[in-house]
């Protein structure tokens, strides 16, 4: 069974990528049927959320409050606008025709690669997470002794 078929059958309005690790295949399948996508903007790596696979202007979130604010903005015209926007990069970069064109181009296929979105890694938050996990592990070791 395909995700794109399930999204249509269940009348999904917006696809939210998985959290904390989003799947690129699922994001592109949602865009293939004209669904707006919302991705998680992970502070650890740009590859965790799949945002680089989406269309210009797609929404992404960091904190749960951001996600809530995004959904408070949705209305019919915005859903339609984002749905149409989702189809454009799918057709250009991820469709069967795009794949065949890239293969036929051989080594000269750079124009078949979507541009990266703006991304800023949060080094402080990474460090604080690492420190918290290390402290938790040390605490477990102390309680075992």
Closest CA to 125 of 62, 19, 40, 43: 43
The string of pLDDT tens digits covering residues 69-111 is 999 999 999 999 999 999 998 998 888 898 888 888 877 776 6
Domains in the chain (CATH in brackets) are 3-144 (3.40.50)
Phi-psi region of 107 (alpha: psi -120 to 50; beta: other; left: phi over 0): alpha
Of 41-50, 82-91, 124-133, the range with the highest mean pLDDT is 82-91
Q: Span 13-40, mean pLDDT?
A: 88
In this prediction, residue 81 carries a pLDDT of: 97
User: At a CB cut-off of 8 Å and minimum separation 6, what does 111 contact?
Assistant: 105
């Amino acid at each position: 069974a395909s995700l794109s078929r399930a999204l249509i059958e269940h009348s999904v309005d917006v696809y939210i990528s998985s959290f904390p690790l989003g799947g690129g295949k699922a994001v592109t399948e949602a865009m293939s049927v004209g669904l707006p996508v919302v991705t998680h903007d992970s502070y650890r790596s740009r590859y965790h959320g799949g945002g680089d696979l989406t269309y210009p202007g797609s929404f992404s979130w960091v904190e749960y409050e951001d996600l809530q604010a995004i959904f408070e903005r949705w209305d019919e015209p915005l859903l339609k606008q984002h749905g149409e926007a989702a189809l454009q990069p799918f057709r250009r970069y991820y469709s069967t025709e795009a794949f065949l064109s890239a293969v036929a181009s051989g080594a000269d296929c750079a124009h078949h690669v979507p541009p990266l979105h703006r991304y800023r890694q949060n080094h402080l938050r990474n460090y604080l997470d690492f420190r918290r996990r290390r402290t938790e592990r040390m605490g477990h070791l102390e309680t075992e002794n």
